[in-house]
Chains A and B, each alone.
Chain A
Amino acid sequence: MDHAAAAPMDKRVKKAMEPYWTENFGNPNALYKEGLIARNAVETAREDIAKILGARAKEIIFTNGGTESDNLAIFGVVKNFKNGHIITTKFEHHAVLNSCKHLEKEGFEVTYLDVSKEGVVKPEDVKRALRPETILVSIMYANNEIGTVQPIREIAKAIRDFKKKGVIDEAKQNFSRFTLPRNGAGSDASQNFASPRLSAAFPLFHTDACQAPGYLDINVERLGVDLMTINGSKIYGPKGIGLLYAKNGIKLEPLLYGGEQERKLRPGTENVPAIVGLAEALKIADKDREKESARLVKLRDYFINRLLGEIPKTVLNGHPTQRLPNNVNVSILDAEGESIVLYLDEAGVACSTGSACTSESLEPSHVILAIGKPHAYAHGAMRFSLGRSTTKKDIDYVMKVLPDIIKKLRMFSPVNIKI
């Protein structure tokens, strides 16, 4: 019940990776036969992945996972600027949120957009936040805690419209400066032409799509994104592998310096078996997407209905339908998340919580707070994420043990929150 944290690696993925550990162990950068076999495996994987994303092979950069891809997208773009403005949301993954917080310290301005009570970003809010100096917009595709799916296409369109308008405005401005020269206006205008503002190119749009590939359309053309993060371990692939899609022509600065691998954007010998595994995992996700989504939506809604119906004072976090087929997130009031997790663990059920007690920082879930719920709701927020192996029987088992656990915890709880 915690597939969003880690999914077991698919046997087919393991099989695809098998030859690249000891048999075909070559360094893809070597010129001899063993090297070529490895290079071929990496480039075939890259092409297969590009096809699934509707991208070109050279637009795929392999990294060590979602966090690195998010960092490469953000710092890779921003490093080309001394200052500027970034737009993101209050309920992003910490890989994005903390990168942005760091950039604030370096002098960049960041707008953290509010999200609706149901956990959805409004494209109008993105539109309103856009400024001429906005370099990057980073908004997740599906929230990892509450599973809400963001209107990525609409947000991409708002950004595209803003860029078009910017280009026209800039052209008008330059034209007027040429036609109405004032003191020193000539040199001003020429500077303007060479300005790095580049309305046509910025802001770029990045999305963290780590939770998406199994359930949502990840075609970059249709989504209209410039940069997209995907990782292996959430999609029944290996851990320690991820990718960043970066649209052709985008200038990125690397995070690491070293060899010339991955178009000099990610030095270090390629993780050949993991790359092969990631491609295989994506292929399976792509093939099974519709069927598996339809199956899980039914299970999800069955689970949510039972939770809300059978455990008093339980509320759903996030949108009832605009959410990942595998995500269930409810706040169970008057009981506390860590205690629930540990009691469920004892009963053989693994799930996660937004409670502060389980985090190193002792801060409750920023996602639950971002959707406007009080702290007590975050402390009692439970995420159940379903997966390929989840059946109705598993849900029935949770519903057999959970109500009694809650009854017990509430029995010695002094809290009585009014809904």
Chain B
Amino acid sequence: MADVDKWVYSNVVKDHFMRPKGFLLGEPKEGEFDSYGEVGSLACGDIIKVWIKVDKETDKIKDFKWQTWGCATAIASASAFAEMIMKNSGMKVEEAMNIKPKDIADYLGGLPARKFHCSILADKAFKKAVENFRSKN
């Protein structure tokens, strides 16, 4: 029998989608973050914004928050990415820059193939935020 009892996404995806972690409620406060990055568009159906705060001495990520409008993959991958880089009180920026969509998909226990390219946006938004941060400092 075909396994129809399974959700369309993995349980890990479902958990991150239904109980997302590390999102920003409302607008950021003045000085709350060092930088900001955004990818996606209304036309394609996914938009993600991320905010980062970096410890300038250790180059560790002190805070990371996101907001996402989009499908379950977009929301779950943002939540998963936040969890990945904030583990052990924050990853080094360089290390976090190396996280690839495949790493996020693996962390989530796999994603449907067609969702891979369009919906894993957290890493890209993060890179933009880091670029903004680097150019400011």
Which residue on B lies nearest to A360, using beta carbons?
B114
How far in angstroms is the closest Cβ of chain A from B114? 7
| B44 proximity list for chain A (CB < 8 A) | 356, 375
| Contact across chains for B72 and A413 when beta carbons are under 8 A apart | no
| Contact across chains for A343 and B18 when beta carbons are under 8 A apart | yes
A342 and B69 in contact, given A356-B44, A357-B119, A364-B45 (Cβ under 8 angstroms): no
What are some 29 contacts across the A-B interface (CB < 8 A)? A334-B69, A335-B69, A336-B46, A336-B69, A336-B74, A339-B70, A339-B71, A342-B17, A342-B72, A355-B45, A355-B71, A356-B44, A357-B70, A357-B73, A357-B119, A358-B71, A360-B114, A362-B118, A374-B42, A376-B42, A376-B43, A412-B23, A412-B66, A412-B67, A413-B69, A414-B47, A414-B49, A414-B69, A417-B42
| Contact across chains for B72 and A356 when beta carbons are under 8 A apart | no
Which residue on B lies nearest to A334, using beta carbons?
B69
| A412 proximity list for chain B (CB < 8 A) | 20, 23-25, 66-68, 75
Chain B contact residues, CB within 8 Å of chain A? 8, 17-18, 20, 23-25, 38, 42-49, 66-75, 114-115, 118-119
| A355 proximity list for chain B (CB < 8 A) | 45, 71
| A415 proximity list for chain B (CB < 8 A) | 42, 47, 69
Q: What sequence of 0s and 1s flags, for each residue 346-387 of chain A, a beta carbon within 8 Å of any chain B beta carbon?
A: 100000000111101010100000000011100100000000
| Contact across chains for A357 and B71 when beta carbons are under 8 A apart | yes
How far in angstroms is the closest Cβ of chain B from A336? 5
| B48 proximity list for chain A (CB < 8 A) | 414
B71 touches which of A336, A376, A411, A414 (Cβ 8 Å): A336
Report A315-355 residues with CB < 8 Å from chain B CB: 334-336, 338-339, 342-343, 346, 355
How far in angstroms is the closest Cβ of chain A from B38? 8
| Contact across chains for A375 and B67 when beta carbons are under 8 A apart | no
| B25 proximity list for chain A (CB < 8 A) | 411-412
Size of chain A's interface in residues, with CB distance under 8 A?
25
**Alpha-carbon separation in the docked complex, A301 to B66 (Å):** 38
Which residue on A lies nearest to B49, using beta carbons?
A414
| A346 proximity list for chain B (CB < 8 A) | 18
How far in angstroms is the closest Cβ of chain B from A151? 32
If A413-B67, A413-B69 are given as contacts, then 19 extra A-B residue pairs at C-beta distance below 8 Å, sorted by A number, are A335-B69, A336-B70, A338-B72, A339-B17, A339-B70, A339-B75, A355-B45, A356-B45, A357-B71, A357-B73, A364-B45, A379-B45, A412-B24, A412-B68, A414-B47, A414-B48, A414-B68, A414-B69, A415-B42
Chain A contact residues, CB within 8 Å of chain B? 334-336, 338-339, 342-343, 346, 355-358, 360, 362, 364, 374-376, 379, 411-415, 417
| B68 proximity list for chain A (CB < 8 A) | 412-414
How far in angstroms is the closest Cβ of chain A from B19? 10
**Alpha-carbon separation in the docked complex, A343 to B75 (Å):** 12
| A336 proximity list for chain B (CB < 8 A) | 45-46, 69-71, 74
Pick from A357, A358, A375 the residue with the most CB of B within 10 Å. A357
**Alpha-carbon separation in the docked complex, A336 to B119 (Å):** 13
Which residue on A lies nearest to B18, using beta carbons?
A346
How far in angstroms is the closest Cβ of chain B from A340? 10
Which residue on B lies nearest to A336, using beta carbons?
B70
| B20 proximity list for chain A (CB < 8 A) | 412
**Alpha-carbon separation in the docked complex, A376 to B41 (Å):** 9
Pick from B47, B69, B70 the residue with the most CB of A within 10 Å. B69
| B71 proximity list for chain A (CB < 8 A) | 336, 338-339, 355, 357-358
How far in angstroms is the closest Cβ of chain B from A22? 24
**Alpha-carbon separation in the docked complex, A357 to B72 (Å):** 9
| A362 proximity list for chain B (CB < 8 A) | 114, 118
How far in angstroms is the closest Cβ of chain A from B50? 10
| Contact across chains for A339 and B72 when beta carbons are under 8 A apart | yes
**Alpha-carbon separation in the docked complex, A100 to B42 (Å):** 29
Which residue on B lies nearest to A342, using beta carbons?
B72
| B47 proximity list for chain A (CB < 8 A) | 414-415
**Alpha-carbon separation in the docked complex, A343 to B8 (Å):** 12
| B67 proximity list for chain A (CB < 8 A) | 412-414
Which residue on A lies nearest to B23, using beta carbons?
A412
Which residue on B lies nearest to A356, using beta carbons?
B45
| B24 proximity list for chain A (CB < 8 A) | 412
